[in-house]
């Protein structure tokens, strides 16, 4: 009919979905980099007691460095290039390392090196996860020094209370408040853009600072100072890794649109406004962000800034949860308790152990450093280290993935690697004054990951000796003609080459087998998600009439490793010829024994002790694999390390 409203086009619907995702991305992806104006430029002007002077050459040089750093690293490297290097839609250093391993799977030596590079990147991210909430919340609350000086002595207590509340509510998940994040960050970016624009309109000559010639002149005229300044300029790109890491949640298009249409212009305008203010009022160097705001609006902006920094902190904390889950599933950390906080969003999880450790670390650095100025000295190393790791992995995957010519690789190495190594070198001078903190955090994480990985290898070797051959066990069972009791017995076990210790113990002590025995092997693919039709492989172990089957289940590193759910899916698609109703009464047997420390070669004694401590604090495998508590039995024998 003529008066009918035409149905919206597919293109129109797609655009609305993209822009809705862009709004959501604003509340998660850009919190860290979006709150950098609070402290970045202030840190530059406080270097060495004010060595960067409030004169045109210095100010324009710094603004030029800031603009081109953000343009090259964020706009070109991350959004223009790296976000095309996704691992089945997922981004981040762990996903990038997994992609690189997959591309170099035929080269064992390189695959091992890539894993080490990935571990270093993950370790540096944990350092960032501890420092970001501390410096972000402190820098926002420090606005009280300008707005309400009478209560400025309460900055530390207020920041501590905010951090306590932030970590206390983590167990409720971000789903309920997630809808508020996007609009709050939109308001934040509009406010900082308007504040910067007002000053740029008054002093439009500051726009000249966008020319790269001023950065070059600053480096040539004052090489030592510009080198030191780079250690503070890097603060403007904190959170760049989040753009890539959160790609799996929102997609490349929404993040790109949000960046180029709102975030990037708002940041540039605000930095230009702060620069213009410092040029015409050198005293404003003490806190150019809040002094850029009209006096009547400073207290509301302090409140808005605090909300924005809490959002920025939430994004980093959630990222730490996701990264920890990926590390667990890739065998780099012991199994940890993971709780889904959303029925619809797989990425919304809560990990109590990680939350507690992050809270202790964040509160410790907040109370120890006491101000964002002092904490900024510790911030740059973890950020620059993570940037360099991403660039190394980018250069490794570019040739096999996109068939880059050597000149393209060389150009990327110089443009990205050269700038980031300069940032890293500029931050090395901060090691004595606090830069050791993220290095210490990274070192501890690397030690834990490598110890757990090596310890697992030793334990698995000992278990393999005690478990014995599966083929020989099946032949023995057939020869003994053991009584079969009704029901299904399920034994999680990593390999079909050996026998689960719980199955061997059950036969040895009870002298019976269940009517149906299913040995389930769980593995994690180096992709985020594995479709059901590709997730299962069933083996009858040589005989189709003995009721003993081996089922291999592959999960992606972002999947929830729920064995009962996987078994039902295997029945549904016809991989297991059983009735799914029978699984309602199935019994699960976990092979788990005490770990005994020995003097065998392979690991020094103190690392053996660390491995045992980690194993004792690991999550219950029944909870990890979603096994019903009332139908799960733990059996086995001691294993040695």
pLDDT tens-digit profile of 610-619? 888 888 887 7
82 vs 97: CA distance, rounded Å: 12
434 vs 371: CA distance, rounded Å: 12
Q: Is pLDDT of 12 > 60?
A: no
110 vs 223: CA distance, rounded Å: 38
Q: What is the pTM of this model?
A: 0.78
Average pLDDT, the chain: 84
* CATH annotation of 21-429: 1.20.1740.10
637 falls in which pLDDT band (50, 70, 90)?
low
User: DSSP string of 205-246?
Assistant: GGGGGGSHHHHHHHHHHSHHHHHHHHHHHGGGGTTHHHHHHT
Identify the helix (H) or strand (E) that includes residue 312. helix 298-329
274 vs 200: CA distance, rounded Å: 9
201 vs 204: CA distance, rounded Å: 5
Running DSSP on this structure, what letter comes out for residue 8?
A: P
Tell which residue, 583, 589, 516, has the closest CA to residue 547. 516
Count of CB atoms situated within 10 Å of the CB of 472? 10
Q: Where in the chain is the domain with CATH 1.20.1740.10?
A: 21-429
Tell which residue, 185, 191, 140, 187, has the closest CA to residue 162. 140
Pairing of strands 349-350, 339-340: antiparallel
pLDDT of residue 182: 79
For 311, half-sphere exposure in the C-beta direction (CA atoms, 13 angstrom radius) is 31
Interval 36-64: pLDDT, tens: 898 889 888 887 677 888 889 999 999 99
As a whole number, mean pLDDT of residues 410-435 equals 87
Tokens for 8, please give them.
């919206």
Name residue, tokens 């100010």.
59
Interval 482-529: pLDDT, tens: 888 888 999 998 888 888 888 888 888 888 888 899 999 998 776 777
Tell me the sheet residues that pair with 498.
Answer: 469
Interval 107-132: pLDDT, tens: 756 667 787 888 888 888 888 888 88
Interval 277-328: pLDDT, tens: 999 999 888 889 999 999 889 899 989 988 888 877 777 787 788 778 878 8
Q: Give the best-scoring range by mean pLDDT among 15-24, 194-203, 568-577, 580-589.
A: 194-203
In order of 280, 500, 519, 592, 597, the CA distances from 615 in angstroms are 60, 19, 23, 11, 12
Tell which residue, 360, 416, 61, has the closest CA to residue 240. 416
User: DSSP string of 127-140?
Assistant: HHHHHHHHHHHHHH
* Terminal-residue alpha carbon distance, the chain: 78
Q: Is pLDDT of 8 > 70?
A: no
Cβ-count burial 168-191 (b if 16+ within 10 Å, e if not) = eebeebbeeebeebbebbbebbeb
Q: Is pLDDT of 28 > 80?
A: no
Distance of CA 189 to the CA centre of its chain: 24
Distant-in-sequence, close-in-space partners of 614: CB < 8 Å, separation ≥ 6: 334, 448, 451, 452, 455
Tokens for 152, please give them.
């400025």
Residues found in the chain: 641
Count of CB atoms situated within 10 Å of the CB of 89? 15
Interval 464-483: pLDDT, tens: 777 788 888 888 888 888 88
Tell which residue, 12, 618, 75, 28, has the closest CA to residue 345. 28
Name residue, tokens 């040895």.
508
pLDDT of residue 200: 95
pLDDT, greater one: 570 or 381? 570
* 3-class state of residue 162 by DSSP: helix
């Amino acid at each position: 009919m003529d008066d009918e409203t035409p149905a919206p086009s597919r293109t129109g619907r797609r655009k609305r979905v993209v822009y809705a995702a862009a709004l959501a991305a604003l509340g998660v992806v850009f919190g860290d980099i979006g709150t950098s104006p609070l402290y970045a430029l202030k840190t530059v002007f406080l270097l060495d007691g004010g060595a960067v002077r409030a004169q045109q050459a210095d100010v324009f040089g710094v603004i030029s460095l800031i603009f081109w750093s953000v343009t090259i690293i964020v706009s070109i490297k991350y959004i223009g290039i790296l976000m095309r290097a996704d691992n089945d839609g997922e981004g981040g250093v762990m996903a990038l390392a997994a992609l690189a391993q997959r591309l170099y799977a035929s080269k064992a030596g390189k695959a091992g090196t890539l894993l080490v590079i990935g571990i270093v990147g993950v370790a540096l991210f944990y350092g960032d996860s501890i420092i970001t909430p501390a410096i972000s919340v402190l820098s926002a609350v420090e606005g009280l020094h300008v707005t309400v000086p009478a209560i400025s002595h309460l900055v530390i207590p207020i920041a501590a209370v905010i951090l306590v509340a932030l970590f206390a509510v983590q167990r409720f998940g971000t789903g309920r408040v997630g809808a508020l994040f996007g609009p709050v960050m939109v308001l934040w970016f509009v406010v900082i853009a308007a504040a910067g624009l007002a000053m740029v309109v008054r002093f439009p000559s500051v726009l000249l600072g966008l020319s790269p010639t001023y950065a070059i002149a600053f480096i040539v005229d004052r090489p030592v100072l510009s080198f030191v300044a780079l250690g503070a300029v890097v603060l403007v790109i904190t959170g760049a890794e989040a753009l890539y890491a959160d790609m799996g949640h929102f997609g490349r298009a929404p993040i790109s649109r949000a960046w180029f249409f709102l975030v990037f212009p708002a940041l540039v305008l605000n930095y230009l406004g702060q620069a213009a203010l410092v040029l015409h009022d050198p005293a404003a160097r003490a806190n150019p962000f809040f002094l850029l705001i009209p006096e009547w609006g400073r207290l509301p902006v302090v409140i808005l800034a605090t909300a924005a920094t809490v959002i920025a902190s939430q994004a980093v904390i959630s990222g730490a949860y996701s990264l920890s889950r990926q590390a667990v599933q890739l065998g780099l950390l012991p199994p940890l308790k993971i709780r889904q906080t959303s029925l619809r969003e797989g990425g919304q999880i809560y990990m109590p152990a990680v939350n507690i450790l992050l809270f202790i670390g964040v509160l410790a650095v907040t109370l120890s450093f006491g101000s964002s100025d002092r904490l900024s000295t510790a911030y740059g190393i973890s950020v620059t280290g993570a940037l360099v790791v991403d660039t190394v992995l980018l250069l490794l995957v570019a040739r096999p993935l996109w068939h880059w010519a050597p000149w393209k690789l060389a150009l990327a190495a110089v443009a990205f690697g050269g700038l980031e190594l300069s940032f890293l070198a500029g931050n090395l001078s901060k090691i004595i004054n606090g830069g050791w903190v993220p290095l210490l955090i990274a070192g501890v994480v690397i030690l834990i990951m490598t110890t757990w990985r090596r310890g697992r290898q030793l334990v698995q070797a000992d278990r393999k000796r005690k478990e014995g051959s599966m083929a020989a066990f099946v032949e023995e069972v057939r020869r003994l003609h053991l009584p079969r009791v009704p029901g299904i017995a399920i034994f999680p076990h990593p390999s079909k080459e050996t026998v689960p210790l719980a199955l061997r113990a059950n036969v040895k002590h009870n002298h019976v087998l269940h009517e149906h025995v299913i040995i389930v092997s769980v593995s994690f693919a180096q992709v985020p998600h594995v479709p059901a039709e590709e997730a299962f492989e069933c083996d009858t172990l040589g005989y189709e009439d003995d009721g003993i089957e081996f089922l291999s289940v592959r999960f992606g590193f972002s999947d929830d490793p729920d064995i009962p759910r996987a078994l039902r899916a295997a029945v549904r698609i016809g991989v297991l010829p059983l009735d799914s109703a029978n699984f309602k009464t199935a019994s699960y047997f976990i092979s788990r024994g005490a770990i005994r420390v020995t003097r065998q070669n392979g690991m020094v004694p103190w690392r053996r002790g660390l491995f045992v401590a980690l194993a004792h604090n690991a999550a219950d495998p029944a909870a990890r694999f979603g096994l019903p508590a009332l139908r799960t039995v733990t059996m086995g024998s001691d294993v040695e390390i």
